[in-house]
Amino acid sequence: MFKKLAGGLLAGVAVGVMSISAAMAGELTVYTAVEAEDLKKYADAFNADHPDIKINWVRDSTGVVTAKLLAEKNNPQADVIWGLAATSLLLLKSEGMLEAYAPKGVENLDPKFVDKSTPPTWTGMDAWVASVCFNTVEGGKLGLTAPKTWKDLTKAEYKGHVIMPNPNSSGTGFLDVSSWLQMFGEKDGWAFMDGLHANIAAYTHSGSKPCKMAAAGEIPIGVSFAFRGAKSKAAGAPIEIIVPEEGVGWDMEATAIVAGTDNLEDAKTLADWTVTKKANEMYNSGYAVVAYPGVAKPVEHFPPNLLEKMIDNDFEFAANNRKAILDEWQKRYDSKSEPKG
């Protein structure tokens, strides 16, 4: 029996060794926060043009991926970041973690979607826009009218019927908070959030969960993003995707090469491909707004007026004030015993 156990041990060690030898030429470790259901499609489309480069995805929510990258600051595991919030990439840029590289064809992109440094350290892919998911069935049962503006959400009738992502753990939550502060100004922004907080049933950890909860009728109103709403609506959920009239916050998904990658050539090939028209057409299947002008086609269930409602987002403001905003938010709202700041 002992021999059998020893044999098992050896087999185990052998498997361990096999899984260690991962980093090889022709393979890229790509960190991403793109929705899991789209990843296969992205890799397949890329491999149609470059079958010799295999993509190993590391997929997680925006916060987790950012944390992973920062934790690995002195020993990066990723070769490329493809599909992470620009706010996060700015953070990584200021740590000197991104390789400056102008992908071939970057000049075709809307300059709003490209890093201002020369050469740029990151290039945008598509925009991801906040909106409100309203469950018409549950809303009807409770006799709620659909909100039209952000300020509507502070009305007493919605008390306990609104859910939003916690900005301390969700990128979507943070873009909401930063957009309110930019739109309403510092003072009125916090005053608005004080009012909203009184109506919030819970803050979720992830940005897509509020809309999925609204889709499942668990809550009538979920502050989330339009892409998630369109998907849930397509899946048959009785929801309406509302674009508040004041304007909506947004963030873009972007691509960058990680400084120190031992596979720079393949990384550049991938970066070149991510700015192509073909890639942007692919991004368009889930996002109404993409970096390549003229590519965007209307997406099913996407609110038609979304584009004009996107605020003029100041990403540097968001990145450089991130900690101060999150600290203030936490002080005001992140403790049940002290709901008012």
Partner 1 sequence: MSSLDALGPDVTAKSRIKPKLGSDDWIMRGYMIVLAVYLIVALALPLYAMLSKAFETSRFDLAQFEVQVSNEAGAYNQPAATLQQLNNQGNFIAEGDLATSSDGRLALTKFFPDFSFRSPVKYRLRGLNDEAVYLVGSERFEGTKPAEFDSNTFRKVVIRPIQGHGLANFATYFSTPALFQSIQNSVFIALVSTIITVSLAFGFAYALCRSCMPFKGVFRVIAMAPILVPSLLPGIALVYLFGNQGFLKQFLMGESIYGPIGIVVGSVFFTFPHAMIIILIALSISDARLYEAAVSLRASKWRTFWTVTIPGARYGLISAAFVVFNLVITDFGLPKVIGGQYNMLAVDIYKQVIGQQNFQMGAVVSVVLLIPALIAYIVDRQVQRKQVALLSARSVVYQPKPSRRFDLSCLAYCALVALFIISILGICQYAALVKFWPYDLSLGLTNYDFDRMDGGGWDAYRNSIMLALMTAVIGTVIIFTGAYMVEKTKGFNKGRAGFQFLAMLPMAIPGMVLGLAYIFFFNNPANPLNFIYGTMAILVICTVTHFYTVSHLTAVTALKQIDCEFEPVAASLKQPFYRLFSRVTVPVCMPAILDIMIYLFVNAMTTVSAVVFLYSSKTTLASVAVLNMDDAGDIAPAAAMGMMIFYTNVVARLVHAVVSRYVLGRTQGWRQR
- Report the nearest approach of partner 1 to the CB of residue 177 (Å): 13
**Tokens coding 117:** 């440094």
Between 31 and 292, whose beta carbon lies closer to partner 1? 31
HSE of 263, CA atoms in CB hemisphere, 13 A: 22
Which residue from 133, 137, 82, 94 is spatially nearest to 241, judged by alpha carbons? 133
DSSP string, 41-84: HHHHHHHHH-TT-EEEEEE--HHHHHHHHHHTTTS---SEEEEE
- Report the nearest approach of partner 1 to the CB of residue 44 (Å): 13
Cβ contact 93:73 at 8 Å: no
Assign 3-state DSSP to the chain and report helix, strand, coil percentages, each to 5: 45, 20, 35
Cβ neighbours around 182 below 10 Å, total: 18
- Report the nearest approach of partner 1 to the CB of residue 5 (Å): 5
Return the sign of the alpha-carbon dihedral for residues 173, 178, 184, 187.
positive
C-alpha 37, offset from chain centre: 14
In the DSSP assignment, the letter for residue 151 is: G
Between 12 and 185, whose beta carbon lies closer to partner 1? 12
- Report the nearest approach of partner 1 to the CB of residue 287 (Å): 18
Cα-based angle 331, 334, 338 (whole degrees, multiple of 5): 75
Read off the amino acid at residue 26: G
In this structure, the strands spanning 80-85 and 27-32 are: parallel
Between 108 and 321, whose beta carbon lies closer to partner 1? 321
Is the link from the previous residue into 298 a cis peptide, with omega within 30 of 0?
A: no
Between 197 and 292, whose beta carbon lies closer to partner 1? 197
- Report the nearest approach of partner 1 to the CB of residue 299 (Å): 19
Between 210 and 247, whose beta carbon lies closer to partner 1? 210
Between 65 and 109, whose beta carbon lies closer to partner 1? 65
Between 299 and 325, whose beta carbon lies closer to partner 1? 325
Between 8 and 293, whose beta carbon lies closer to partner 1? 8
- Report the nearest approach of partner 1 to the CB of residue 206 (Å): 5
C-alpha 201, offset from chain centre: 23
- Report the nearest approach of partner 1 to the CB of residue 85 (Å): 13
In the DSSP assignment, the letter for residue 248 is: B
Between 168 and 199, whose beta carbon lies closer to partner 1? 168
Which residue from 175, 317, 168 is spatially nearest to 253, judged by alpha carbons? 175
Cβ contact 180:194 at 8 Å: no
- Report the nearest approach of partner 1 to the CB of residue 245 (Å): 26
Cα radius of gyration (the chain): 22
- Report the nearest approach of partner 1 to the CB of residue 330 (Å): 5
